[in-house]
Amino acid sequence: MKYSISLFSLLLIISCATPVEELNTSVVIPEIANTSSGEDEISLAKEWVTVAPDISDRLLETLASQVTELGIEISKKEEGSGNLILNLDDTLDAESYRLGVSEEHIEITGGSEAGVFYAWQTLRQLLYNHLWSEETWRAVDLSDTAKYIYRGYMLDVSRHFFNVETIKSVIDQISLYKINHLHLHLSDDQGWRIEIKSWPELTTTGGATEVGGSEGGYLTQEDYKELQRYAQERFITIVPEIDIPGHTNAALASYAELNCDGKATELYTGIEVGFSTLCAEKEVTYTFLSDVFTELAELTEGPYLHIGGDESHVTSDEDYVKIVDFALEKVIALGKTPIGWDEIANANLDERGISQYWASSENTSLAASKKASVIISPAAHAYLDMQYDSLTPLGLHWAGYLPVKKSYDWNPETLVEELDPEQIIGIEAPLWSETLENLQDIEYMTFPRLPGLAEIAWSTKDRRSWEAYKQILERHIEWFEKKGINTYKSLE
Ligand code: ACM
């Protein structure tokens, strides 16, 4: 142990003395905590043999599936030695890892299987760099650890519906950047997208259409479980959102009794917000919320349920507090942690809940004063549906244009006054889908901004240089093109 610590310190000293431009590890996004790289060229074998008694076959299959595009094949031996060594070391944090590449072997040690998986994402990028950008394959030794426990991406499947296959593609793409939460915005005015067996009309009626009036769709509970399994294999936790008390027209169109006047609304296919509300004075509202959150909690393996709470412009303050308080307590009683958009600070939020900052630093300061944890998703820096500039054919710009530099060059710890950085559990990059109809549209708004947001969420390095990052990102853009990902290309 002593030997390995002193060797590690030596490597650190070497790494500090070597200009970062010379290291092939500098191409990795998010930036790695500690790294050193040898000078000499080594050769890359494409058949990897592993003996990994601590690693599940399921993980090995996932890892193997992520390098087939590079022509690398992995086989497993029961005993002896191999050129791919995968270890667990529970003295490391669960998501931390060490990665060493030498002429003889590749060795990965994770604090848990998640750490092994994140080492793999680093390795994949080194492989793209070698095989696709034709850089020398050199020995490296590095160790890495996550800054935030919550590194999120949100997909709005309500304004336009995206099916299981599309969502799986998104999961694959975001996993390369060590994102570990996928927030699914499952209900809104334009569509209810998750099957709730006790309220079947929510999907059969409320899921029938989408923005623009074309056919909608929804995830069955089996689809949701399948997505959860697929995401979990990539160490991504699904965070389901049912947005209440506003953004509820799809539910109000499905069940007349949820409306204060007892009349079902029309399905909505436009993109206005803030016109719908659940009815605080009706008992059935609370039965509905209770049934929906109970089914969702039973389905959901992760710890969080998102209750929305944003833009309830036609709900009185008193009604808002009554409905949101009910939802907060219900979710907690179901054994889950509630998350809501920053407006939920105006209800009786406390240290058991999480506020997601998107628009109001005032609301976020209020949440912080109530001891809630905070996820940082400022629309002006992190909303992936904001147009890059005035010529962007997709997206909106109500929070301003969001060029790639602006999505990278900001500090989550200084945006909100009176927020102790210790209260921040992470960053999320939301993608709203009013203008997005398919995977290619999703990709165009996500890439290349997501890698920078993932770096803010993962990297423990606080000094960031846009000029240096931009050169690295250009290389990732080349890789996206090789992968057939539809990428926006201007970094100016
Ligand atoms: C939001 O963008 N309405 C949370």
Catalytic positions are 311
d(CA 377, ligand 1 centre) in Å: 10
Amino acid at 412: P
Q: Are 79 and 158 contained in the same domain?
A: no
Domain boundaries, position 207: 150-483
The single residue listed with the structure tokens 């040898």 is 38
Q: Are 375 and 355 contained in the same domain?
A: yes
Whether 448 shows a pLDDT value over 50: the answer reads yes
What pLDDT does residue 262 have? 98
Whether 12 maps to a domain, the answer reads no
The rounded distance, in Å, linking the Cα atoms of 305 and 296 is 8
CA contacts within 13 A on the Cβ side of 367:
28
**Do 472 and 125 touch, CB atoms closer than 8 A?**
no
- Residue 456 CB neighbours (<10 A): 24
Q: Which ligand 1 atom sits nearest the alpha carbon of residue 356?
A: 4
Tell me, using a 6 A CB cutoff, whether residue 189 lines ligand 1: no
Q: What is the pLDDT of residues 335-356, one digit of tens each?
A: 999 999 999 999 999 999 999 9
**H helix or E strand, kind and range, residue 123:** helix 113-131
Q: What share of the chain is helix, strand, coil (3-state, %, to 5)?
A: 40, 20, 40
Q: How confident is the model at residue 463 (pLDDT cuts 50, 70, 90)?
A: confident
What pLDDT does residue 25 have? 81
CA contacts within 13 A on the Cβ side of 118:
33
d(CA 367, ligand 1 centre) in Å: 17
Tell me, using a 6 A CB cutoff, whether residue 310 lines ligand 1: yes
d(CA 310, ligand 1 centre) in Å: 6
Q: Which ligand 1 atom sits nearest the alpha carbon of residue 383?
A: 2
Q: What is the pLDDT of residues 48-90, one digit of tens each?
A: 999 899 999 999 999 999 999 999 999 999 888 899 999 999 9
Amino acid at 414: T
Q: Which ligand 1 atom sits nearest the alpha carbon of residue 247?
A: 3
d(CA 363, ligand 1 centre) in Å: 13
d(CA 339, ligand 1 centre) in Å: 13
- Exposed / middle / buried, residue 19 (Cβ in 10 Å: 0-12, 13-18, 19+): exposed
Whether 252 shows a pLDDT value over 70: the answer reads yes
Tell me, using a 6 A CB cutoff, whether residue 311 lines ligand 1: yes
Q: Is the peptide bond before 200 cis (omega within 30 degrees of 0)?
A: no
Quote the mean pLDDT of the chain.
94
Which of 144, 171, 194 is a domain's end point? 144
What pLDDT does residue 462 have? 76
Q: Which ligand 1 atom sits nearest the alpha carbon of residue 308?
A: 4
Atom 2 of ligand 1 has which residue's CA nearest to it?
Answer: 358
Q: Which ligand 1 atom sits nearest the alpha carbon of residue 358?
A: 4
Q: Which residues pair with 142 in a beta bridge?
A: 35, 99
Considering only CA atoms, which of 156, 286, 269, 265 is closest in space to residue 201? 265
Q: Are 206 and 255 contained in the same domain?
A: yes
| Token pair belonging to 79 | 């005993």
d(CA 358, ligand 1 centre) in Å: 7
Tell me, using a 6 A CB cutoff, whether residue 144 lines ligand 1: no
Contacts of 210 (CB under 8 A, 6+ apart): 158, 159, 160, 161, 190, 191, 216, 217, 269
Q: Are 271 and 414 contained in the same domain?
A: yes
Q: Are 353 and 241 contained in the same domain?
A: yes
Amino acid at 212: G
Amino acid at 140: V
Considering only CA atoms, which of 327, 386, 326 is closest in space to residue 358? 386
Q: What is the pLDDT of residues 291-327, one digit of tens each?
A: 999 999 999 999 999 999 999 999 999 999 999 999 9
Q: Which ligand 1 atom sits nearest the alpha carbon of residue 311?
A: 3
**Do 469 and 154 touch, CB atoms closer than 8 A?**
no
Q: Are 107 and 158 contained in the same domain?
A: no
Whether 10 maps to a domain, the answer reads no
Q: Are 382 and 335 contained in the same domain?
A: yes
Whether 96 maps to a domain, the answer reads yes
DSSP secondary-structure letter at 265?
Answer: P
The rounded distance, in Å, linking the Cα atoms of 454 and 248 is 31
Whether 11 shows a pLDDT value over 50: the answer reads no
The single residue listed with the structure tokens 């009349």 is 263
What pLDDT does residue 177 have? 98
Q: Are 315 and 403 contained in the same domain?
A: yes
- Is residue 172 classed as helix, strand or coil in its secondary structure? helix
Atom 3 of ligand 1 has which residue's CA nearest to it?
Answer: 310
Q: Are 84 and 222 contained in the same domain?
A: no
Whether 21 shows a pLDDT value over 60: the answer reads no
Q: Are 237 and 351 contained in the same domain?
A: yes
Mutate to test the pocket of ligand 1, among 158, 341, 433 (most ligand atoms within 8 A of CB): 341
What pLDDT does residue 417 have? 85
Whether 393 shows a pLDDT value over 60: the answer reads yes
Whether 110 shows a pLDDT value over 60: the answer reads yes
Q: What is the 3-state secondary structure (H, E, C) of 377-415?
A: CCHHHHCCCECCCCCCCCCECCCCCCCHHHHHCCCCCCC
Which of 91, 124, 144 is a domain's end point? 144
Mutate to test the pocket of ligand 1, among 159, 311, 431 (most ligand atoms within 8 A of CB): 311
What pLDDT does residue 9 have? 44
| Token pair belonging to 359 | 């628009």
* Selected residue with higher pLDDT from 9 and 97: 97
Atom 1 of ligand 1 has which residue's CA nearest to it?
Answer: 310
| Token pair belonging to 298 | 């039973």
Q: Are 224 and 283 contained in the same domain?
A: yes
Considering only CA atoms, which of 219, 81, 183 is closest in space to residue 432? 183
Whether 4 shows a pLDDT value over 60: the answer reads no
d(CA 242, ligand 1 centre) in Å: 13
What pLDDT does residue 433 have? 98
d(CA 273, ligand 1 centre) in Å: 9
Mean pLDDT of 191-217: 98
Q: How confident is the model at residue 24 (pLDDT cuts 50, 70, 90)?
A: confident
The backbone region for 91, taken as left when phi is positive above 0, alpha when psi lies in -120 to 50, beta otherwise, is alpha
Which of 92, 111, 144 is a domain's end point? 144
Whether 397 shows a pLDDT value over 70: the answer reads yes
Tell me, using a 6 A CB cutoff, whether residue 383 lines ligand 1: no
Whether 461 shows a pLDDT value over 90: the answer reads no
Whether 11 maps to a domain, the answer reads no
Distances, alpha carbon 11 to alpha carbons 15, 18, 69, 100, 267, in Å: 6, 11, 32, 11, 62
| Token pair belonging to 469 | 């990052």
The rounded distance, in Å, linking the Cα atoms of 182 and 446 is 13
Whether 491 maps to a domain, the answer reads no
Q: Are 154 and 122 contained in the same domain?
A: no
Whether 436 shows a pLDDT value over 60: the answer reads yes
CA 467 to chain centre: 25
- The least confident of 20-24, 269-273, 440-444, 457-461 is 20-24
What pLDDT does residue 16 have? 42
Whether 19 shows a pLDDT value over 80: the answer reads no
pTM (two decimals): 0.95
Whether 10 shows a pLDDT value over 90: the answer reads no
The domain that contains 408 carries what CATH number? 3.20.20.80
The rounded distance, in Å, linking the Cα atoms of 195 and 188 is 14
Q: Is the peptide bond before 403 cis (omega within 30 degrees of 0)?
A: no
Tell me, using a 6 A CB cutoff, whether residue 358 lines ligand 1: yes
Whether 8 shows a pLDDT value over 80: the answer reads no
Mean pLDDT of 194-223: 98
Considering only CA atoms, which of 247, 239, 244, 259 is closest in space to residue 327? 244
Whether 13 maps to a domain, the answer reads no
Task: Give the chain's domain count.
Answer: 2
